[in-house]
Amino acid sequence: MLPDTTPDGYCNSGPACKLHDGRTAHPTTEPLCETCLERAGQDIRALTYDYLDLAQLHEPAMSQAISEKASGSKDKPIPINQHVEELQAEILHVTAVWEYELRVACRLSDPYVSAPVADWHTTLTKPTPLALVRPGAAVQRAVGIIGNRVRHLSRIPATNVLPTGVEDAPQDMHGWEAVLQLSALHGRARAMLGRTTRRFWIPGECWACKAHPVRGVDGPLYRSEPRDFEDPMQVNCDKCSAYRAYPEYETYMATLLWPELQEAA
């Protein structure tokens, strides 16, 4: 879900702004602040690899090996992981939609209108239907266009599009909303691939940027679940990305609650 509209002069990421101070988003004259644009650009450029890695989840396990007996059905087989295919289809659709809008806004050439096609005797220029382009190649081309022009994409005014697929109702979306949507797709892909860890919000203020907790708002400190058994458990700040070991956090909180213990030590 996209964040609520923020006042003019502030990053439109709202509470999700990377430089949110607990009260307002970071001031900026652009639709998104520099830090949010940089982080979103990294997420968008990773969508190509996310799409390819998701395809590996379709590979059958040994217990799902294809039977040697031929079946009489001519229907297309159902994907082993339908939810994975749905996320891949959404990545393909969203990147293709905003690639087109970005090409129109920046006056870039359309690769599907005039692409070279090899003939027996000469090289002709004929239209190449989108259906003839492999999905992975289409995602790679779209990400190549969008990833290097994230700022231009964030400036695109409200455009009537199908947000996540052809079955959606048309609605107006700004370019900065598309940037956040593409960044969120990377996060969903990472979660489906098992590359994320659970986070738990914990009390306290940041020792580095002094960000204070706000009633009704999560943060600023959270504890990440260790990915592997030998990984250390640490506490992070979602405002300035500072981190420290969990035992140090416990000592820090104890000195805030019971200063006399620190004096006695």
Residue pLDDT tens, the chain, 265 long: 344 445 578 999 888 888 877 678 888 999 999 999 999 999 999 999 999 999 988 765 544 445 555 555 555 555 557 889 999 999 999 999 999 999 999 988 776 554 444 443 344 344 445 556 789 999 999 999 999 999 999 999 999 999 999 899 999 999 999 999 999 999 999 988 877 777 788 888 888 888 888 887 778 888 877 666 667 778 888 878 788 888 888 887 777 665 555 555 5
Indicate the pTM of the whole model: 0.67
Side chain identity at 41, as an amino acid letter? Answer: G
- The whole-number pLDDT of residue 123 equals 40
The single residue listed with the structure tokens 């923020």 is 6
Phi, psi at 224, each rounded to 5°? -95, 140
- The whole-number pLDDT of residue 120 equals 35
The pairing of beta strand 221-224 with beta strand 234-237: antiparallel
Q: What is the DSSP letter of 27?
A: B
Using the CB atoms, write b or e for 99-124: b if 16+ within 10 Å.
Answer: bbbbbebeeeeeebeeeeeeeeeeee
